Amino acid sequence: MPTLSSRHPDPADPQPHRQRHIAESFGADADRYDRARPRYPQALIDRIATRPGLEVLDVGTGTGIAARQLRDAGCRVLGVEPDERMADHARRTGIDTEVATFEEWDPAGRVFDAVTAAQSWHWVDPVAGAGKAARILRPRGRLAVFAHVIAPPQPIARAQLNALRRVMPESPFAQQSDASPERAAELYRTGMEKFADGIRDSGGFGHPEQWRFDWQRPYTRAEWLDLAPTTGALTRLPQDELAELLAEVGAAIDGLGGSFTMHYVTLAVAAVRTE
C-alpha cells in the first residue's frame, strides 16, 4: 500500500484541510469503514479518559470508532462529523453526532473536558481549529489529536503503489517515490509536527506533548483487502480498477504466505488549555 493510505492526504501538505473531495469520499461505504478500520491502543484511550464522566467532543468522529472506545472507558462523548452517512452510522452505534465541519459547528454555549480528533485533524484548519478547541474547553481541558501510521510490509505497499500508478496515474497517491514503512513514519511525524505548530500558534494551550504507541495486529488476505478500499488512496477508484488493484495486492499477500503481521505506530499530539 502506498505510504499514505489511511484517512489522510499527504501529512506534509501544508493545507490538507482544503482537500474536501477526499474527505467526503469515506462515507461511500461507512459499514466497511467501521468494520475494517483499526481501533486505537487502549493505552492512548486511558491517557485521555482520565476519570469517569469526562465530557468529550470528538471532531471528525466518522463512524464513531474512537468515540465508542472513549465511551466504553467512561466518557460522555458528542461527535461532530461533516458527512451525514458517517454520522448516521455513528448514531446507530450509540454516539450522539451532529453534522458540521468543526470550523462551522455551533457549540451553543457547551463546554468540554477534552476535544479529540482521531484520524481527522488534517481535515481541520490547524490554527483556527486549535483556537476553537481552546474556546470550548474548560480550564485545564485537553486537546488530543492522533492517527495511525498505516504502512504494511514493503512487498504489499509496492504492489499497491505500482498498480495505482497504472490504473490511476493522476492520483496524488501514485506520485510517491518510496513505499517503505520508514518513509510513511517520517511523513506522519512531519504531519504531527505541523499539528503541534498549529496548537502553539493558536495561543490557547501549553506546550504540546507528542505520544507514540507501537503495537501489532495480524491480517489475513481477506481482512487486508477489506481494509484497503477504505483508505484515501482508493476510496474514489472505479470498481473495475479497484478490483484489478486488489488482485495484485492479494497476490503480494499470497507471496507472504497468505497473511502477515502489521506493525502499527499510533502518533498523538496533546496539549492542555491554559488557565
Predicted TM-score (pTM) of this structure: 0.88
Write down the pLDDT at residue 96. 98
**CA gap 143, 208 in Å, rounded:** 9
Query: Average per-residue pLDDT in the chain?
Result: 88
| Average pLDDT, integer, range 178-183 | 70
The burial of 31, by beta-carbon neighbours within 10 Å (0-12 exposed, 13-18 middle, 19 or more buried), is given as: exposed
| Average pLDDT, integer, range 4-23 | 45
**CA gap 158, 245 in Å, rounded:** 11
Write down the pLDDT at residue 2. 31
Q: Where are the domains of the chain?
A: 16-153+180-219+262-273
Give 16-153+180-219+262-273's CATH code, choosing from 1.20.1440.130, 3.40.30.10, 3.40.50.150, 3.40.50.2000: 3.40.50.150
User: Side chain identity at 190, as an amino acid letter?
Assistant: T
Q: Is 96 left (phi over 0), alpha (psi -120 to 50) or beta?
A: beta
**CA gap 273, 132 in Å, rounded:** 11
pLDDT above 90 as % of the chain: 73
pLDDT at 186 over 60: yes
- Do strands 55-59 and 96-99 pair parallel, antiparallel, or not at all (unpaired)? unpaired
| Average pLDDT, integer, range 108-115 | 98
Determine the distance from the C-alpha atom of residue 86 to the mean position of all C-alpha atoms in its chain, rounded to a whole number.
14
- Do strands 112-118 and 55-59 pair parallel, antiparallel, or not at all (unpaired)? parallel
Write down the pLDDT at residue 10. 43
